[in-house]
Amino acid sequence: MPQFFRRRLSSVLLPLLALCLPMPGAMLQAEEPLGPDEILFGQSAALEGPSAQLGEEMRNGILAAFEEVNRNGGIEGRKLRLISYDDGYQPAKAIANVNRLIEQDKVFALVGCVGTPTSKAIAPIAEAENIPLIGPFTGAGFLRDPAAKNIVNIRASYAEETEAWIEHLTKDLGITRIAAFYQDDSFGRAGLEGVKAALEKRGLKLAGEGRYMRNTTAVKRALLAIRSHNPEAVAMIGSYKASAAFIKLARQLGLDVIFMNISFVGSKALSAELEGDGRRVYVTQVVPFPDDMDIPLVQSYQKALTAFNPALETGFVSLEGYLAGRFVAAVLEELGPNVTREAFLEKVETTRKFDIDGLELLFGPGDNQGLNRVFLTELQGDGSFRAIDRLPK
């Protein structure tokens, strides 16, 4: 065939062939059909290392909820199943886990992923694949962006927790000299910005700050930097091992202050690290008290947790995981047999209110966070926590 005709034929056929091929974006957005027997969810969380207890408790709570649903017949006959991979609280591992969950395991959605830096790493992947990212264990603000259409938060934000800290410290005790101890990454900086904003709202400034590296307990330099400013309270945005190390060392060096901890610290883990010495240690929580049997949700949670594993103790983190699992089931029940990722996300936005045993999660256009309430708790001498309305004098 003459070269002229070959060029002419190519100019006609190649565009036609291109029309027959799927576009890259369409390939990314293609949704795997659900099997007839199960709906598969994925989780990347710290299951080993210094933050392992958070990942384990979150996983236990979700599994307790899923098994409860499955015992009652599942969702339209489909059982809920969770695949969890350890990321050691490291963003690179979280990325590898989520790619594996999406590409190999073909999960329907991600649920209960743990941590701000890891969530920040995986959020773009979930968005690109239009995978629902449900109930991440973090209060970071970027996950609450109205543009994040595939993200569904359950807990209150870190901004709401830090606002509650400063409100209690200034109003209950008249404290104005407040320093910040934080993890030097997106998690710690999110909390730090919340503290600064709450102080600025009241015409105050931070009275010193100190930071430490993620997955370490190297806190001495941070403590010395903070102590030089003579604070009355320290706002703490850290993991349980580092926060406990800071509190212990502060006491050894005679720094007698109030220690305000964020919910991510993990109350039970922090208490264990402090060996029950809870003097002036407080933690804000974003779910109800896990031992308050007057709350129907807590009754269901305790029953489900015992059925899943009688050896497990109750806790705020596993209750949050249970709530995430129950929420997933509630949305799926609303959908009926026709379950797609797009339909799941649309149902959250349009239904707006989900009642989980009396606890209402409220959503809507531009609002992808179900709960807003922050609870204040105090660490007791026996290692337990009690709910309080205000800081004691």
- Copy the structure tokens of residue 173: 């005790």
pLDDT at residue 32 in the model: 60
Q: Give the type of residue at 345.
A: L
Tens digits of residue pLDDT in 315-344: 999 999 999 999 999 999 999 888 999 999
Whether the Cβ atoms of residue 132 and residue 345 lie closer than 8 Å to each other: yes
pLDDT > 70: what percent of the chain? 92
Q: How many other C-beta atoms lie within 10 A of the C-beta of residue 339?
A: 18
Whether the Cβ atoms of residue 142 and residue 124 lie closer than 8 Å to each other: no
Domain boundaries, the chain: 38-156+292-362, 158-285+375-388
Tens digits of residue pLDDT in 231-248: 999 999 999 999 999 999
Which residue has better confidence, 234 or 365?
234
First to last CA, the chain: 95
Could you tell me which of 275, 274, 279 has the C-alpha nearest to residue 257? 279
- Distance (Å, whole) CA 339 – CA 341: 7
CA distances from 235 to 92, 178, 376 (A): 28, 7, 14
- Distance (Å, whole) CA 326 – CA 329: 5
Q: Is the pLDDT of residue 27 over 60?
A: no
- Distance (Å, whole) CA 161 – CA 177: 18
Radius of gyration of the chain from its Cα atoms, rounded to whole angstroms: 24
Q: Say what the alpha-carbon torsion angle 304, 33, 47, 371 is, to the nearest 10 degrees.
A: -60
Does the domain made of 38-156+292-362 have the CATH classification 3.40.50.720? no
Tens digits of residue pLDDT in 114-144: 999 999 999 999 999 999 999 999 999 999 9
By DSSP bridging, strand 375-379 and strand 281-285 are antiparallel
- Distance (Å, whole) CA 320 – CA 301: 10
Confidence label for 33 from pLDDT (cuts 50, 70 and 90)? low
pLDDT > 90: what percent of the chain? 86
38-156+292-362 and 158-285+375-388: identical CATH topology: yes
Convert the chain into a string of H (helix), E (strand) and C (coil): CCHHHHHHHHHHHHHHHHHHCCCHHHHHHCCCCCCCCEEEEEEEECCCCCCHHHHHHHHHHHHHHHHHHHHCCCECCEEEEEEEEECCCCHHHHHHHHHHHHHCCCCCEEECCECHHHHHHHHHHHHHCCCCEECCECCCHHHHCCCCCCEEECCCCHHHHHHHHHHHHHHHHCCCCEEEEEECCHHHHHHHHHHHHHHHHCCCCCCCEEEECCCCCCCHHHHHHHHCCCCCEEEEECCHHHHHHHHHHHHHCCCCCEEEECHHHCHHHHHHHHCCCCCCEEEEECCCCCCCCCCHHHHHHHHHHHHHCCCCCCCHHHHHHHHHHHHHHHHHHHHCCCCCHHHHHHHHHHHCEEEECCEEEECECCECECCCCCEEEEECCCCCEEEECCCCC
Confidence label for 21 from pLDDT (cuts 50, 70 and 90)? very low
Tens digits of residue pLDDT in 92-103: 999 999 999 999
- Distance (Å, whole) CA 335 – CA 352: 14
Out of 70-74, 182-186, 275-279, 290-294, least confident range: 275-279
Mean pLDDT score of the chain: 91
Topology annotation, domain 158-285+375-388:
Rossmann fold (3.40.50)
Strand partners, 84: 43
Mean local confidence (pLDDT), 176-192 = 97
Q: Is the pLDDT of residue 75 over 60?
A: yes
